[in-house]
Amino acid sequence: MTGGWQRLHPLTTLVRGGRGTIAIVVILVPSLLDGGNTSRTITLLAVAAAFFGMSFVRWLVTRWRIEADDLQIETGLLGRRSLRYPLAQVQAIDIVRPGLARLFGVAELRLRMGGSSGGTARLAYLREDEVEPLRVQMLRLARGAEEHEEEIPAWLHETLLARVSTGRLIASIVIADVGIVAELVLAGLIVAGVLAPNAERGIFGGGAAWAIAVGTRIWRRFNQEYGLSVSEAPDGLHLRGGLVGLTAETIRPGRVQAVRLVEPFFWRPVGWCRVEVDLAGKQKVEGEGRAQRGQLRALLPVGDRATAELIVERLVPDRPRELVAPPGRVRWKSPLRYRKLAYGRTDTCVATRSGRLRRVTVWVRLEKAQSLRFVQGPLQRRLRVASVHVDVAGKTLHAIARDRDAIEARREIDTLAELARAARRAA
Amino acid sequence: MSDDWRGISRSYLALRRLEVVVAAVAAAIVFAIFLNGWYRLWVLGALAAGVFGLVIVQRRFAAWGYAERADDLLVKRGVLFARLSVVPYGRMQFIDVTTSPFERLIGIATVRMHTAAAASDARIPGLEKHEAARLRDRLAELGESQAAGI
């Protein structure tokens, strides 16, 4: 397939528009059926035509090819842009299929590039059945392998680590913090409705906006985490799942800034937990939904301890096994947290545990540490304790060892600085 | 630890003191004009707050310090919340030097080191202009020679 310029799938025009397309259809259809207000219909048609016209031109002027070891994409009508992505620098190739794309049988290929720029090449959209072979071919070229190898090579094989079942996902959301709040409010609304039927309207009106917000959150979570599976492959962990939109993503070990294991209060009786990772903040991609940004990526939405351990083991094999509790005098400062607080480290990895109701364990590999901080508040000074922060380039996570003995904490800062330097050198 | 700690410029302290004095005096004058009778005691209150502010400004000034070690920069600050940051030179993404108009008048600047982590906190205010320039150049040089990826 080397050579020849190719176009993207013609339906790209429709799918790219995404919500815009849906909105236009929704507005247009009734007004067309209505047939009354002609001038308005014409305006709408003109807007739609302009919209699709631009989209179509964009499709028309965009072409791509694989030339030697590069992926080349040319685009732009007036300002012509020619992009070259050396396949040798490809870190991972993901397949993304939003809901609309699935409807039309197309898919997007997303190449995550390495190097200092760390950009992302997008081929959106291609025919669904074309995507997988193309991915394999590109990965082969990336490895500098022969182009016409027959079988799927060994390095593409992956072993399944975990897959969340629908039943458990639903159960976990029902007893998660958001779920329980939603249920309580719902119950409250029903009770209020029964007891005071007259006030019902006002109560529901007030609750509606809130209910929508919570509903969206729950839906988004369900949609993203439905059928999520993690498997291990030589190039990292492969993540697949989704209900309406499907994604397949590769998480290279190097992209992971921090790993965390969350055990929500209400899940503890059943022994479930959740594993999430924070990825480098730089890799923001347009087309990655707004909700996905600034959010941790769940590798295991819900699972038992053993499965979680299995995944954590893949990400931070060098993690400390034994965590040490802070001095007992801290109990007066953080009564709720005290029993969960713990800290431990090896020469290459730091682990901290905290949380008031839920228990959160965070692992950070020292080679990823961006800076270290020692913080001591007034109450902490009175108790002769201090917190040690290990900052990483993730979006939200960093490791905080709270309320350690002050002298130990100060010494720990120096030791960690030393260890982090060694870890960076080794990396 | 025998780190070579440096403090920040006394001009910075002078500027902060001036701010406190101006605020306290302005408040006192406003109270003196608009309040009557016993409420006039607020004037004394404003002045007392000013004195308290001067003490705080003094202590916070004294808490600032930085040390350039072989591989990282240390910055300490804060009285109520004492903080110490360790930022390896290799993690530095860029440095910026900023001055407010008043700071420019007395020739001081703020140097700030940015890393890929938003939480990193390496800001040194109140550096003499030449010291700020020296620090900026030195950090840039060290950052380049020790650069590490994310």
Strands of the sheet with A3-7, listed across from one edge: A3-7, A63-67, A70-75, A81-86
User: B59-86, pLDDT tens digit by residue?
Assistant: 999 999 999 998 899 999 999 999 999 9
Q: What is the pLDDT of residues A361-382, one digit of tens each?
A: 999 999 989 999 999 999 999 9
- Which pair of tokens denotes residue A250? 């590769």
**Amino acid making up residue A180:** I
- Residues A274 and A343 placed together within one structural domain of the fold: no
A197 and A146 in a single domain? The answer is no
Nearest to B87 among A368, A371, A375 (CB): A371
Q: Is the pLDDT of residue A288 over 70?
A: no
Structural domains counted in chain A: 3
Please tell me whether residues A81 and A98 are part of one structural domain: yes
State the DSSP H helix or E strand holding residue A72, giving kind and residue range, or none if neither: strand A70-75
* Angle of the B10-34 helix axis to the B41-63 helix axis, nearest 10: 170
Give residue ranges of B with CB < 8 Å to any A CB: 1, 71-72, 80-88, 90-91, 115-122, 148-150
Q: Print the domain residue range for A201.
A: 161-292
Does residue A337 lie in a domain region? yes
Chain B closest-CA separation from residue A370 CA (Å): 6
Omega of the bond prior to A343 within 30 degrees of 0, cis?
no
Domain boundaries, chain B: 10-61, 65-145
Other CB atoms within 10 Å distance of the CB of residue A210: 11
Encode pLDDT of A71-125 as tens digits: 888 887 777 788 888 887 777 788 888 888 888 888 888 888 765 555 788 888 8
Extended strands (E) in A336-420: 342-345, 349-354, 359-365, 371-376, 385-391, 399-405
Using a CB-CB distance cutoff of 8 angstroms, which residues of chain B are in contact with residue A427? 148
Report the gap between the CA of A424 and the closest CA in chain B (Å): 7
Cβ contacts of B119 on chain A, cutoff 8 Å: 371, 373, 389, 391, 398
* pLDDT at position B50 over 70: yes
Asked if residue A289 has pLDDT above 70, the reply is no
**Torsion of the alpha carbons at A206, A208, A211 and A212, rounded to the nearest 10:** -140
Instruction: Report the residue of chain A nearest B86, measured CA to CA.
Output: A372
Looking at the complex, report in whole angstroms how far the Cα of residue B103 sits from the nearest Cα belonging to chain A.
28
Q: Do B86 and A371 touch (CB under 8 A)?
A: yes
Q: Does A312 have pLDDT greater than 80?
A: yes
The reply to whether A426 touches chain B by the CB within 8 Å rule is: no
Give chain B positions within 8 Å (CB) of A377: 80-81
Taking the C-alpha atoms of residue A380 and residue A330, their distance in angstroms, rounded to an integer, is 8
B1 closest CB neighbour out of A370, A386, A414: A414
- Three-state SS for A288-339 is CCHHHCCCCEEEEEEEEHHHHHHHHHHHCCCCCCCCECCCHHHHHCCCCCCC
- Rg over alpha carbons for chain A, rounded to the nearest Å, is 26
Of B83, B116, B149, the CB nearest to A281: B116
Cross-chain residue pair A393–B80, CB shorter than 8 Å: no
Residue where a domain terminates, one of A256, A277, A292: A292
Please name the helix (run of DSSP H) or strand (run of DSSP E) that holds residue A81, with its range, or none.
Answer: strand A81-86
Rounded CA-CA distance A142/A85 in Å is 11
Which residues are registered as beta bridge partners of A110?
A94, A122
- Neighbour tally for A201: CB within 10 Å: 10
The last residue of a domain, from among A157, A181, A198: A157
Task: Please tell me which of the candidates B1, B83, B150 has its beta carbon nearest to residue A282.
Answer: B150
Q: Is A310 among the domain residues?
A: no
A18 and A149 part of one domain: yes
A134 and A169 both lie in a single domain: no
Mean pLDDT confidence for B115-138:
89
**Does A172 lie in the same domain as A153?**
no
Q: Do B80 and A374 touch (CB under 8 A)?
A: no
Q: Please answer yes or no on whether A375 and B82 come within 8 Å at the CB atom.
A: yes
What six digits make up the tokens of B70? 């072989």
- Chain B CB within 8 Å of residue A392 CB: yes
Q: Which two tokens stand for residue A104?
A: 């039309």
Among A191-200, A281-290, A311-320, A344-353, where is mean pLDDT lowest? A281-290
Residue A404, min C-alpha distance to chain B (Å): 14
For position A81, what pLDDT does the model report?
81
Closest CA to A6 of A70, A66, A79: A66
Where is the domain boundary, A102, A137, A157?
A157
Q: Does A366 touch chain B if contact means CB atoms closer than 8 Å?
A: no
Question: What number is the average pLDDT over the span A3-12?
Answer: 82
What is the pTM assigned to this prediction?
Answer: 0.80
Sheet strand arrangement including B82-88: A399-405, A385-391, A371-376, B82-88, B72-77, B65-68
Adjacent-strand bridge partners of A272: A304
pLDDT computed for residue A2 by the predictor:
52
Q: What is the ipTM of this complex?
A: 0.88
SS3 label, residue A384:
coil
Interchain contact, A375 vs B86, CB within 8 Å: no
Q: What CATH number is associated with residue A344?
A: 2.30.29
| Residue of A370, A375, A385 to mutate, interface with B, max B Cβ within 10 Å | A370
Residue A389 has pLDDT above 90, yes or no: yes
In tens, the pLDDT along A188-233 reads 777 877 777 666 666 666 667 777 878 888 888 888 888 899 998 8
- The 3 state secondary structure assigned to chain B is CCCCCECCCHHHHHHHHHHHHHHHHHHHHHHHHHCCHHHHHHHHHHHHHHHHHHHHHHHHHHHCEEEECCCEEEEEECCCCEEEEEEEHHHEEEEEEECCHHHHHHCEEEEEEEECCCCCCEEEEEEEHHHHHHHHHHHHHHHHHCCCCC
**Same domain, yes or no: A141 and A167:** no
Q: Are residues A251 and A322 in the same domain?
A: no
Q: Which of A168, A163, A162, A142 is nearest to A153 (CA)?
A: A142
Whether A100 and A21 have beta carbons less than 8 Å apart is answered as yes
Does A303 reside within a domain? no
Same domain membership, residue A323 and residue A230 = no
* Same domain membership, residue A286 and residue A209: yes
**In a shared domain, residues A221 and A137:** no
List strand residue ranges (DSSP E) for A128-191, in order: 159-163
Structure tokens at A313: 């083991």
- Mean pLDDT along residues A401-415: 94
At A236, which helix (H) or strand (E)?
strand A236-241
Chain A, chain B: beta-carbon pairs less than 8 Å apart: 84
Pick B65-145's CATH classification: 1.10.1040, 1.10.10, 1.10.287, 2.30.29: 2.30.29
Which residues of chain A have a CB within 8 Å of the CB of B118? Answer: 281
Beta bridge partners of A352: A343, A362
**Between residues B58 and B39, which one has the greater pLDDT?**
B58
